A and B are shown apart, each in its own frame.
Chain A
Amino acid sequence: MKLTGRKIYKGKVEGEAIVTSSSISFYGGVDPETGTVVEKGHELEGKSIVGKILVFPTGKGSTVGSYVLYQMAMTGKGPKGLILNDCEAIVAVGCIIGDIPCVDQIDTSKITTGMKLILDADNATVEAF
């Protein structure tokens, strides 16, 4: 399956999908030291996003979230790439400063956790196996 969206930040990565239908607040919602989702009641609470391609509808919360994404990228505790329905400013800025490949305008309901993905942000495509 090949999906086409919009490039937010460049790069090409391969990895395993971790998918949620809930939006994510990186500041407060994800622990940057462990790369684990910690927001109470979140679908991914307790799950690690380290080295995965994170698939989610959109970002939310404090703009400090951009720095959290950056911090995780720099310390190797972050996702390899991001795929969203609608990217907003917090996630976009986090990807730009953290050098994290990212595309949006993807129907994320077509992707399920555990799928192998090739995220080619330069061509704004996602291949799922």
Chain B
Amino acid sequence: MELTPEEQEMVTGKFGKATQKAMEILVTLGEIYGAKRLINITSVQVAGVSYANLNEPGLKWLDEMAKDGKVKILTTLNPSGMDLEDWRKLAISEDFAKNQLRVVDAFGKMGIITTCSCTPYLYGNLPHFGEHIAWSESSAVCYANSVIGARTNREGGPSALAAALVGKTPEYGFHLEENRQPEVRVNIKAVVKGTYQFGALGKALGDKLGSKITYITGIPKASVEELKSFCASYATYGGVALFHMEGITPEKVQKMPDETVEIIKEDLNKALSELDEDTEIDFISLGCPHASLAELEYIAKKLEGKKVNSKKEVWITTARPTKQIADRMGFTKMIEDSGAKIAADTCCVVAPIKGRFHGLASDSAKMCYYGSGRNKFSVKLMSMDECLEEALKL
């Protein structure tokens, strides 16, 4: 890779140890993937925040980087393992809480905005079309590439942090136009509606086509909430970082793929039935990816004046700013008076909840995947209305 004189000085340590380590990561990745140079980026999203995944060694590494590392550009943060202000209501242990706060402090010390959200595009980190960025968090990567038309590879936590400390990323993969062209056309011959059905569609496509770049037709409209659910699921089941959806994706395709596949109602039903285990539900998780204001308002109005079955736990995960506006609008009170809990700064994929529940209901196919794999719950993918009915059911 060709480096500028300034970049070479970063490699030799003139700009400090953290920058040197960051350059080591960026240059190695660039060389593995055949990048010719580093390019400037405008924003970063850093994942790998939950203490449950980092553990003590991961935290030590972050502390080491925070000694002299400072981000060069707008950098936001993924969800942590708990609500940073009200973790006790989620029955998180004192020990975990103490360590989780140390993690978030280390990120903050480096100048990262500790948004603790998986939907950075809703909280001040909204790149525009064609912008080069370096994001981790697979659902946000998929959304940024496919819905916004920005350009990012699927970074991991450390490589995203490295990009933030240098303000650059190696130019390979999805940063290059030729690697962003669709490989297969997918005609959706079914009506897809609601976050859970878009999640089922993401699973159906991911299971069938893996990480191939698709050109999707047949979705006449989709809300932000449906798209974030779709992106999360498609990235989870297919490892997908980019798709083109006719009428949604702003990017122009250079050449249409020759191969076409169809997705019919049976494909969606198959995906739904694979996430429909026979189980007694004791945990209902909404807000994966983080619940939007519209979703919180909807849930609040559904739960107003009602009581959640005391044998069931309901978590609605969202970002702190959304919760604060929900507080002002009275949504938080309507939700929490019912017994359901709003959990800000965290998500059920990374919170330490293994062993606490056994039957999970969610409107998110991604949540079902991690609920089943990571936490060994039995899972049911249901519409948001069905999830809320399940919560109230005696």
Contacts and interface: CB of A to CB of B under 8 A. Distances in A.
Contacts of B136: 63
B351 interface: no
Please report whether the interface of chain B is mostly helix, strand, loop or mixed according to DSSP.
helix
B21 A96 contact: yes
Contacts of B21: 96-97
Given A28-B373, A67-B157, A75-B57, A88 B24 contact: no
Interface string B359-394: 000000000000001100000000000000000000
A4 interface: no
A125 to B, nearest CB: 18
A74 B60 CA distance: 10
A56 interface: no
Contacts, number: 67
Please report whether the interface of chain A is mostly helix, strand, loop or mixed according to DSSP.
helix
Contacts of A92: 28-29, 32
Contacts of B32: 8, 87-89, 92, 104
B55 A32 contact: yes
Contacts of A66: 156-158
Interface string B58-101: 10110000000000000000000000000000000000000000
Contact of A96 (B25, B53, B154, B155): B25
Interface residues of A, number: 23
A104 B31 CA distance: 12
Interface residues of B, number: 24
B28 A63 contact: no
A71 B57 contact: yes
A89 B58 contact: no
Interface in A13-58: 27-28, 32
A36 to B, nearest CB: 17
Contacts of B24: 96
Interface in A49-101: 63-67, 70-71, 74-75, 87-90, 92-93, 96-97
A102 B158 CA distance: 18
B47 interface: yes
B61 A93 contact: no
Interface of B: 21, 24-25, 28-29, 32, 47-48, 53-55, 57-58, 60-61, 136, 154-159, 373-374
Interface of A: 8-9, 27-28, 32, 63-67, 70-71, 74-75, 87-90, 92-93, 96-97, 104
Q: Which 6 A-B pairs have the closest CB atoms?
A: A63-B156, A71-B57, A74-B57, A67-B58, A93-B158, A64-B53
